[in-house]
Amino acid sequence: MYQGKLAQLIQHPSHVGELENPSAMAEVTNPVCDDRLRLSIRVEDGIITEARFKVYGCAPTIATGSMAAELIRGKSLEDALRITREEIDRAVGGLPHTKIHCATLAVDAIWAVIDDYRRRNPV
C-alpha cells in the first residue's frame, strides 16, 4: 500500500514527541477528518533550532508531521513560512492523491506554531 520513503517515514518518523518548555506550540485539526497534528518548536535568535511533533490521524500524517519538523529545523521563521504543501509532498516521496490533505495539515501546523511564537513574542 505504502512503499519506499513514505513507508519508511510512517514506520520510523523522527522528531516525535513534545518539547519541554517550548518557545511555541500549536495543534491543528483537519476540519473534515479530525486528524490532529501538534507541533512544538524551540527558537533561538530567530532560528528554529528544535521541533517535535505528535499526531492523531491517518498514516501519511505521521510522515508529513515528521517531515514538517525536519524541514523547519535550522530555518528562520520567515523561511519556515515559505514551505509549501507541494514541498512536503515531494519530501515524503509523494502522497497518494487522496492523501494530499495530510501535507496541507502539516503546512497548517507550521503556520500555527509560528503564529503562536509571534503572539508570545510581539515585536
Partner 1 sequence: MKRIYLDNSATTAVDPEVLEAMWPYFSEEFGNASSVHTVGQKARAAVEAARARVAELIGAQPGEIVFTSGGTESDNLAIKGVAEALSDQGRHIITSAIEHPAVLRTCRALEKRGFRVTFLPVSGGGLVEVTDLEAALREDTILVSIMMANNEIGTRQPIEEIGRLIRDVRQARGSPYPYVHTDAVQAVGKVRVDVNELGVDLLSLSAHKIHGPKGVGALYVRSGVLLAPQMHGGHHERDRRAGTENVPGIVGFGRAAELARTHLAERQRHMQQLRDHLEEGIARRIPDVLFNGDRERRVPHISNCSFRYIEGEALMIRLDLRGIAVSTGSACASGSVEPSHVLTALGRDRELARGSIRFSLCKDTTASDIDTVLDVLVEEVAALRALSPLAQPSETRV
Work out the burial of residue 76: count CB atoms within 10 Å of its CB; fewer than 13 is exposed, 13-18 middle, 19 or more buried.
middle
Closest distance to partner 1 from the beta carbon of 111 (Å): 18
Q: Which is nearer to partner 1, 75 or 101 (CB)?
A: 101
In a 13 Å sphere around the CA of 24, the CA atoms on its Cβ side amount to 24
Do the Cβ atoms of 57 and 30 come closer than 8 Å?
yes
Q: Write down the catalytic residue from 4, 12, 14, 33.
A: 33
- Tell me the C-alpha distance between 6 and 45, whole Å: 33
Known catalytic residue at 58 = no
Nearer to partner 1 (CB atom), residue 24 or residue 57:
57
User: Shortest Cβ distance from residue 45 to partner 1 (Å)?
Assistant: 21
Q: What is the largest CA-CA distance in the chain?
A: 47
Of 75 and 99, CB closest to partner 1: 99
Binding positions for partner 1, rule: CB under 8 A: 1-2, 7, 10-11, 13, 16-20, 27, 30, 32-38, 52, 54-59, 61-62, 98-99, 101
Active site residues per annotation? 33, 102
